[in-house]
Amino acid sequence: MENRSSRSTENVRFVDDVFSAIGSDLRAALERDPAARGAADVILSYPGFHAVAAHRFIHALHRSGIPLLPRWLSNVNRFFTGIEIHPNARIGRGFFIDHGMGVVIGETAEVGDNCTIYQGVTLGGTSLARGKRHPTLGNNVTVGVGAAVLGAITIGDHAKIGGGSVVVRDVPPNATAVGVPARIVMKDGIPVSAPAEEEANWTWVI
């Protein structure tokens, strides 16, 4: 009896957490898209919002150990939104995927709080081995349109990745990385010209 009641308390907490995270995603879209015309606009017409909201339920099913169904639902999610998020991917609060089509977020990817990504972004793996093989984004990271962030690398808090970039090494916090392969053009608000001396000392240089 006690077990059943503690399980139902847990379920209530879980539903609360999911809805509260979805609320933070809604606020993120309103704050970060100047084209958003209000909550109803986002709820009705933003595939990025739909995909993340669905993922939050799918991820919970996945974590509760239900086989097959979460993966199938993530495919249904992809069919309707053009956004593929593996059920195991861990997504922080206030996540905004703008436009969305073509986004892929891999199985062991982790995304911190208040991150923004645009259409065509891949958070992908570079290894066929099981285990951690996808990137970790810190908090307040922005990944521009069409960028590929590949491997078990870390993108630091407040970092920006330029549209079309390919990033295969860690990016430090407060840095802007652009190009193929990505190089740092800004760190702590100070422009970095390549190949600068400071840049040569950073371990992330490709």
- Among residues 152, 186, 196, 205, which is the contact residue for ligand COA, using CB under 6 A? 186
- Find all residues with CB under 8 Å of 125, minimum gap 6, and list them: 106, 107, 108, 133, 134, 150, 151, 152
Q: To which residue do tokens 């704050």 refer?
A: 31
Pairing outcome for strands 175-178 and 183-187:
antiparallel
Q: Is 182 helix (H, G, I), strand (E, B) or coil?
A: coil
Q: How far is the CB of 187 from ligand COA (least distance, A)?
A: 11
| First-to-last C-alpha distance (Å) of the chain | 59
CA 206 to CA 203: how far, in whole Å? Answer: 8
151 makes contact with ligand COA (CB under 6 A) = no
Q: How far is the CB of 80 from ligand COA (least distance, A)?
A: 20
Q: Are 119 and 99 in contact (CB under 8 A)?
A: yes
Binding mask 117-136 for ligand COA (x = CB under 6 A): -x------------------
CA 126 to CA 60: how far, in whole Å? Answer: 26
196 makes contact with ligand COA (CB under 6 A) = no
173 makes contact with ligand COA (CB under 6 A) = no
Q: Are 112 and 141 in contact (CB under 8 A)?
A: yes
Of 74 and 165, which has the nearer Cβ to ligand COA?
165
Q: Which residue type, as a one-letter code, is found at position 86? A: H
Of 122 and 176, which has the nearer Cβ to ligand COA?
176
- Choose one: 16-24, 66-74, 89-97, 161-169; the region binding ligand COA (CB under 6 A): 161-169
Residues 94-113 that bind ligand COA (CB under 6 A): 99
163 makes contact with ligand COA (CB under 6 A) = yes
- Quick one: tokens of 91? 């997504």
- Among residues 57, 179, 199, 202, which is the contact residue for ligand COA, using CB under 6 A? 179
176 makes contact with ligand COA (CB under 6 A) = yes
- Binding residues for ligand COA, per CB under 6 A? 99, 118, 144-145, 160, 162-165, 176, 178-179, 185-186
